[in-house]
Amino acid sequence: MSIVEAVSAAIGSFVIGSLAAYLIEQQEEKEEEGKEEEETKMKENIDDDDGKIKKKKKKNTWRRMFFKEAKAEAASVAGTAAPKAVKMYTRLDVAEHDSIEKRVWCSYKENVYDVTDFLDNHPGGRDLLLLAAGKDIEPFWRLYQAHVNSDVAMEMLKTLKIGELDLEKEPKVDVDETDPYKNDPERHPALKCHSAKPANMEPPLSLLRREYLTPSSLWFVRNHSPVPIIDAATHEITIVSGEQSQDNLNLLRTKAVINLEHLKKDFEKKTVVATVQCGGNRRGGLDLIKKSSGTGWGEGAISTAKFAGASLRDVLEVHAGINLHNYERLGIKHVIFYGADDMRASIPIEKALSPFGDVLLAYEMNDCEELPRDHGYPLRVIVPGHVGVRNVKWLSKIKLCSEEADGPWNRGIAYKGFGPGYSSVEGLNIDSVPTMQEMPIQSVVAEAENISLSLATTSKNDDGEKRTVVQTSAKGFAWSGGGRAIIRVDVSANKGLSWQTATLKEGADQPLSKAWAWTFWEIDDLEIDASKLKPGDEIKVLVKAVDASYNAQPEGAAAIWNLRGLNNNSWHAFTVKVEE
């Protein structure tokens, strides 16, 4: 019996049983209420002929027989067999079943389910369901509210139940009170963990392109230290200007001390939809050429959100007296942001003061009342179009000065790109290499359908030659730093010998010079020569994009390899399989 048939049978039985039980209950109530009345009538008719009395008794007997049979049917439907003993499992038992070979289990609330046979029937595709293999499925259901807003999913899941969680046997976790990371927030189980302390995690591609605004729980996490514990009610941001040195401390002047309530009350709430990408996104692709230094990110160290907060430009003018008319005279060249985690990074003053720069002191994300802890609660900087590290989280201080920030994130090698010929920085003049600010153009294939040879078609070209082709579809995203809009995305399935232009979707209507967020793209008719394909073969779907400045992506990663593994924007490849 199929899953659908099983659910239909279950629902049908439930309806029949409920209806029968309801009718029985109603009839018993009526019989009880009319008992005295019926006995009275029987007594009144005692002098009538026997036929009338027998007729009444016979009618009542048939009615009782019907409801007696209905009651028995309801009891049969409600439980045709004695209840079986419930099997008990621990979360560790569930975690072991994380693949098709081991059977795919998941848990929800206190119950355990085997969803292996449902994988191919899952409306979102088997790959999405496999993300929850061996895990609690509830965090995944929260991403798609259809699961919790309807009884259909729950009824379906009930048919797959194999047992319950034995919570009494759950292993006790001893908290190390000396662990500086003990108060870090919980993260979504779908995130791939590159390191837990500090947290460096990215979402799978299969989830990244599902929504234009990335759910905050699926945002990539890039932390340099434990997540600070901050009380928003008492948190303050200090604005200072000038230089500070051991010889002359008087040059550092405090301009203002402000708090979150002040920002919300006294400054216009502005919004910006912005994509934030880590400078090391796709570093794993460079590592295939030669090992670089840093976290081996896949393609998921990039996310998009709608941020809301106060304009940095407005705040600096009100509290520091700095604007586009006087910053040069005052010798201000950089704005340095300090985080409560001791992180510090700077941006050019021109970006901060530009009316087109849209730099925010953000306190909201995706229309929520506050930022999540992992993403800067209660206040962070959003620098649209710039590398992720400039978007400092847990903001505690802003400094205006003539020099960029000191420390590894500006002065060191962490965010500086060196040529592919350098495997070390020995002998290099590090200070001569500018630190990353705006990012280069990027595009990624997030989804692509496997190729079905049964759908291949054969036709003749103008020369009379036969041509057998099959089509597939693909989806992805593209983004370029500096607000440069995506104007074209090209896709190939024959190693770049020929290209087809994809359709630009969400994000395509952004201004050419203020496109702070990514653009989604898709193609439904990507043609592939099927004449030599056979089941089991693999095809790489390639993508490259062009922005409003006609910047294009390089073909291979070897030409842009660098020892820090930064700015990998080579053509991205997504592998699909050939099926019958």
Q: Which residues are catalytic?
A: 122, 147, 222, 278, 415
Q: Specify the residue for token string 């510090």.
A: 344
Say how far apart CA 324 and CA 354 lie, in whole Å.
8
Q: What tokens appear for 522 in the block?
A: 């898709």
Phi, psi of 99 (to 5 degrees): -150, 165
8 Å CB contact between 297 and 194? yes
8 Å CB contact between 511 and 572? no
- Pairing assessment for the beta strands 519-529 and 466-479 based on DSSP bridges: antiparallel
Max CA pair span of the chain: 126
Residues 6+ apart with CB under 8 A from 532: none
Q: What tokens appear for 438 in the block?
A: 């705006």
Say how far apart CA 353 and CA 317 lie, in whole Å.
9
Q: What tokens appear for 35 in the block?
A: 């008992």
Give kind and range of the element (H or E) at residue 143. Answer: helix 138-143
8 Å CB contact between 341 and 228? yes
Give kind and range of the element (H or E) at residue 348. Answer: strand 344-348
Q: What tokens appear for 98 in the block?
A: 């994380």
Say how far apart CA 298 and CA 206 lie, in whole Å.
13
Q: What tokens appear for 391 in the block?
A: 């978007």
